[in-house]
């Protein structure tokens, strides 16, 4: 009797595991990844308005706005 119950439990676990894996695999197939409607597929470039970070390519002089306090 115990072997029969153990076999039923193992079979139910295997069936549950197969169903769970197949559902998760089906979700990854494209429904969750491609859930944006086609009219909202706008490509946005986040680095378009990024400030210049290389100091050698710019001609900014930090002393342009400096005024000597001891001169008139």
DSSP letter at 18 equals: H
Q: pLDDT by residue (tens digit) across 5-55?
A: 999 999 999 999 999 988 887 766 555 555 555 565 566 777 777 777 776
Note whether residue 71 is domain-resident.
Answer: no
Note whether residue 24 is domain-resident.
Answer: yes
User: How much is the pTM?
Assistant: 0.38
Note whether residue 36 is domain-resident.
Answer: no
Residues 57, 66: Cα–Cα separation, whole Å:
22
Q: In this structure, how many other beta carbons lie within 10 angstroms of the beta carbon of residue 13?
A: 10
Residues 60, 62: Cα–Cα separation, whole Å:
6
Residue 10: give the domain boundaries. Answer: 2-29
- Burial letters for 15-41: b for 16+ Cβ neighbours within 10 Å, e otherwise? eeeeeeeeeeeeeeeeeeeeeeeeeee
Note whether residue 72 is domain-resident.
Answer: no
Note whether residue 21 is domain-resident.
Answer: yes
* Count of domains observed in the chain: 1
Note whether residue 70 is domain-resident.
Answer: no
Note whether residue 45 is domain-resident.
Answer: no
52 within 8 A of 58, measured Cβ to Cβ:
yes
């Amino acid at each position: 009797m115990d072997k029969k119950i153990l076999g039923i439990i193992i079979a139910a676990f295997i069936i549950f595991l197969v169903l769970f894996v197949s559902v998760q695999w089906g979700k990854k197939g494209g429904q969750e990844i491609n859930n944006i409607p086609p009219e909202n597929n706008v490509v946005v470039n986040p680095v378009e308005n990024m400030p210049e970070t290389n100091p050698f390519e710019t001609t900014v002089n930090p002393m342009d706005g400096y005024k000597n306090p001891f001169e008139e």
